[in-house]
Amino acid sequence: MKKRPSMNIGAAILFGIFGLLFFILMVRFVTIQVTGEAEGKVLASQAAEKYIKSRILEAHRGTIYDQKGEVIAEDTSAYTLVAVLSPTVTSDPENPKHVTDPEKTAKALSGFIDMKESEIYKKLTSDGAYQVEFGSAGRALSHQLMLDIKEEKLPGITFRKEAKRFYPNGTFASHLIGFAQKTTSDSGQTETTGKMGIENSFNDLLSGKNGNVEYKSDVWGYLLPNAEEHVTPPQDGKDIYLTIDKKIQTFLEEAMNQVQKQYKPKKMFAIVADPKTGKILAMTQRPTFHPDTRAGLEDNWTNTIVEETIEPGSTMKSFSLAAAVNEGKFNPNEAYQSGTYKVDNVPNPIRDHNGGDGWGSISFLEGVQRSSNVAFAYLLDRIGFEKFEGYLHDFGFGEPTNVGLPHEASGSILYHYPIEKYTTIFGQGTTVTPLQMIQAESAIANDGKMMKPYVISKVVDSNTKEVVKETKPEVVGTPITKETAEKTRKYLESTVTSEDGTGKRFAIDGYSVAGKSGTAQIPDPETGGYKYGKENYLFSFMGMAPADNPQLIVYVGVQEPELKVTEIGSDPVSDIFKPVMQNSLKYLNIKPQEKVSLKKEQIPDLSGMGVEKAKSAIEKSGAEPVVVGNGSEVTRQLPQPGSELLEGGKVIIRTDGDITIPDMKGWSIRDVFKIANIAGLKINMVGNGFAVSQNIQPDSPVNENEPLVVNFKTPEEQLQREKEKEVSEEERPLN
């Protein structure tokens, strides 16, 4: 049979088409074989992406220890909750590997994690999702909570194990240590990053470097038989040992908590340091926060001790005194007229804190003990403006200590005009950081050698235990001589032991204390001036013990506490200083001294003696005689003969003539009582603190049973009165 021509043509066309297709396929095959690419993509990489799996081997973040190896911050196991939604993972319907009942699962999980049942249900019913997580509510779960959820036997609910930063001591030097938390990088990888404090400053050292593992798998992700694993091990972070001592830090935190509860101050800070080395043994502040939960962090992100500046108030007088002693300009027995000091071309004089009344003509040592601003104004004249400015720099003010913590402030020496130079010498105007004060104080405590403060003791390789870096004590200056330091400590000790000393509340049983209290004004941002009122000050004390060879410095500041009528600003400060200093000294096995107060002498029997002879006998014993009456013979005395009296205490002598009353301004309540007792007067006291006025004129004759009215004011009340007087004088119209 003859074939039709049309059939031949059709066959030829089909042959051509199939031939062309075969040619294209061959060309495509050869091209792929030669280039290894398809549609511009490397086939090997696509295969690797599908069949070569990898996972991160997370580096262990370095542990932070105290100086004795007690853990302060460490990594611990935590778990992330994961719900698998895709049915493709289930091969056996009897044992499902995915969530089969979203409603039941949501209800069960809501009892374990901080997420509403409706929100959990919404996640469990996400369209097309292979698996889901539950945000922060499902992360950082404890091992016990993970076990509790597993007990529910919920299909599709699984966990991913990971490291979590843990702070076993809770609120513990929180602003110094800081905290670390999980963050997600741009590449989608999760890593732990320090956010503040040591965790942030030394993040690179602590973090280490993650490793990974690669292996060949089948299409479902399972490891192929005999497949090789390629492992890049992680490099764990370095361990950091701090100078902090956990025991001393605990003493400090407990004392701060107690004062916070009782007085509710706006702010507080406290530091304990070793003056021999510069080690910071403890430091904390309020407000503070819990590093695990971050509760309280919103109240204050700033490390007050390092990043904020303050006007130090009278604690600055410690260094002013040291400068005067070093220059040979301080004669403790020389007298000056207290009360006020006039600065040229300045309308308002410098006043002592009792409203400018002063205490008459007193010695410079008593001026130090009473914290007289006028005494230090006179001392500045003797030292000289330029010379004293040099001491400010020598003590490290105006420059950061370079302790190694972020955002350290420098402070500012306000020293341009004469009035600023006078106010600087007694701690007003010029600003400092608490850490600068610790550094400067170390020069007085450490025989003239000023030690750089530091908080990092050493850095250790966590695997080899090799010390990578170690901090050694560093002398950063010698602003004063050893002899000056010894004398200054002796004078500062008298502010605590003297009957007239402003540091009496800081005496500690068994240990001698040298130091200086301070009542610093607080700037008022609303008025541009300073705040007024009994409580509106930064009350502080910086002391060292034992005074003759200090082993510890403790600096405490309490701002705007809530005080009762009978309380003064030194009360909350001493409630921190005293227990922390005493407990820390005992913990360090520093034995208490047998006698720690000024020399005590037995008061001789003065009966029948002539007045001048009696006065001489009292002065020889180191006490101060006060004569009541204008006679020539002693008839009575207080304290009684044989009593012990601290050096510098008052002995009241009554004579056989008419009774007269001395000027009692600045006297303590105890000494005023002695006068009333020995003179037989009916006393009426108004207020607390020290005497500021009396109804009977000094040296006027009085009769027994006559009323004696004495007004008392605390140093803070007297300072407020001084400021109000300044304001009224400024507002007074000029003639």
Active centre residues (catalytic): 314
Backbone angles phi, psi at 713, to 5 degrees: -140, 145
503-to-370, 372, 518 alpha-carbon distances in Å: 9, 13, 9
User: Could you tell me which residues come within 8 angstroms of residue 721 by beta carbon, excluding any fewer than 6 positions away?
Assistant: 355, 713
Residue from 258, 61, 264 nearest 178 by CA:
61
User: Could you tell me which residues come within 8 angstroms of residue 707 by beta carbon, excluding any fewer than 6 positions away?
Assistant: 681, 682, 683, 684, 695
Q: Which of 275-293 are b and which e, b meaning 16 or more Cβ less than 10 Å from the residue's Cβ? A: bbbbbbbbbbbbbbbebbe
The first and second tokens of residue 352, run together, are 């002592």
The first and second tokens of residue 71, run together, are 């853990």
Residue from 664, 375, 592, 384 nearest 491 by CA:
375
DSSP structure string for 264-294: --SEEEEEEE-TTT-BEEEEEEES---TTT-
d(CA 381, CA 486): 24
Pairing mode, if any, of strands 350-351 and 340-341? antiparallel
Secondary structure (H, E, C), 411-478: CECCCCCHHHHHHHHCCCCCEECHHHHHHHHHHHHCCCCEECCECEEEEECCCCCCEEEECCCCEEEC
- Contact yes or no for 406/489 (Cβ under 8 A): no
For the chain, how big is the Rg over CA atoms in Å?
39
User: Could you tell me which residues come within 8 angstroms of residue 19 by beta carbon, excluding any fewer than 6 positions away?
Assistant: none
d(CA 50, CA 733): 90
State whether residue 111 is helix, strand or coil. Answer: coil
How far from the centroid of its chain's Cα atoms is residue 344's Cα?
40
458-to-69, 435, 468, 469, 697 alpha-carbon distances in Å: 11, 20, 8, 5, 66
Across 306-452, the runs of DSSP E, i.e. the strands, are: 335-337, 340-341, 350-351, 361-363, 450-451
- Contact yes or no for 501/491 (Cβ under 8 A): no
Work out the angle at residue 437's Cα, subtended by the Cα atoms of residues 593 and 550, and round it to the nearest 5 degrees.
Answer: 15
Would you say how long the chain is, in residues?
735
DSSP structure string for 599-648: PEEEPPP-TT-BHHHHHHHHHHTT-EEEEESS-SBEEEEESPTT-EEETT
Strand partners, 335: 363
434-to-102, 107, 195, 317, 443 alpha-carbon distances in Å: 57, 53, 23, 15, 15
The first and second tokens of residue 188, run together, are 């989608």
Sign of CA dihedral 58, 62, 64, 65: positive
Burial of 197 per CB tally in 10 Å (0-12, 13-18, 19+):
buried
- Contact yes or no for 581/513 (Cβ under 8 A): yes
